[in-house]
Amino acid sequence: MNKLLLFSGAFIIIFSACKKTEVPLPMNEACIQQTMDPLAVAYDTNQVYYINYSGKHCGFMPFNSKNYWVYEDSIFDGNGNFKTVKIDTLRYTKTLQTPDQLIWWETKKDVGLPRKIYASENAIYGLENGSFIVDSFYTKRELYEAEKDTVNFLASFVDIVAFGKIIKTTEALRTEAGSFSNYIMLEKYAPGYRRDRVYFVPGFGVIKYTSEFYKAPGPPSNMKLFIKSTLIGYHTEN
């Protein structure tokens, strides 16, 4: 009898040790909607800090440390002749915080958007070093969803004045990453200096970017293609 009880107890212990433990699956973190619109705000540089941040932001463009967009960059020489092609990835790997508690995302790659960027529900803002006020940052609205199909406005390349234009379209633009419709084309044009065009899908990001520079001698409209970036792959989490 004692042997039977001992055997039964050992069996219960072994069975309990082998029983599968239920582990709850991790919950997908919901993205945080951005509602503030920081129009023409200035900050002292000592008020802006780099921080560690793991949140997800949804809005006019989704931001997350895991998101990335892969581009094929065609590079041209000063005369507009094709030079080389390379593959590059847009990622926002650093975050900054301003005194109003806004989180700004930073990248090293240029696709026509600010390197330090914040997206509200319907606009994109850049955080730039002050040109006239030392030790300062200021915010600048770069792209927004206009009510009209075409909007003209005054823009700039840092301190170079440019003509800005936003055009809404329902046409499809096809890339290796897919076919995208209902995109916005942002153009910034400074005659005799530079012209940029950004093709942007609200809620997603840049699908194409071109940059041209003035080639002397010639009229101010004598622009030569310098770079063309086309989306070929991506991963986004909302």
- The C-alpha atoms of residue 55 and residue 45 are separated, in whole angstroms, by 24
Q: Per DSSP, what are the bridge partners of residue 153?
A: 164
pLDDT at residue 23 greater than cutoff 60: no
> Where residue 158 falls among pLDDT bands split at 50, 70, 90?
confident
| Residue 167 predicted with pLDDT over 50 | yes
Residue spans of the domains in the chain: they are 28-235
Residue pLDDT, tens place only, 75-130 = 999 999 999 999 999 999 999 999 999 999 999 999 999 999 999 999 999 999 87
Give pLDDT, residue 28: 63
Match 């986004």 to its residue by tokens.
236
User: Which residue did the predictor score with more confidence, 76 or 26?
Assistant: 76
Query: pTM (2 decimals)?
Result: 0.86
Round the CA-based radius of gyration of the chain to a whole number and report it: 25
Q: Peptide bond preceding 217: is omega within 30 degrees of 0, i.e. cis?
A: yes
Q: Provide the pLDDT for residue 132.
A: 64
**Do residues 42 and 138 lie in contact, with contact meaning Cβ atoms separated by under 8 Å?**
yes
Q: Which residues contact 25 (CB under 8 A, 6 or more apart)?
A: none
Mean pLDDT throughout 170-193? 96
Both tokens assigned to 79: 């005369």
Q: Which residues are within 8 A (CB) of 163 and not within 5 positions of it... i.e. 6 or more apart?
A: 152, 154, 155, 187, 188, 189, 190
Q: Which residues lie closer than 8 Å to 75 by C-beta, 6 or more apart?
A: 82, 83, 84, 85, 86, 226, 227
Is the model more confident about 10 or about 179?
179
Instruction: State the Cα–Cα distance between residues 123 and 120, nearest whole angstrom.
Output: 5
Q: How far is the C-alpha of 181 from the C-alpha of 207, rounded, in Å?
A: 10
> Each residue of 29-62: pLDDT tens digit?
789 999 999 999 999 999 999 999 999 999 999 9
- Averaged pLDDT, 144-164: 93
- Note the pLDDT of residue 20: 43
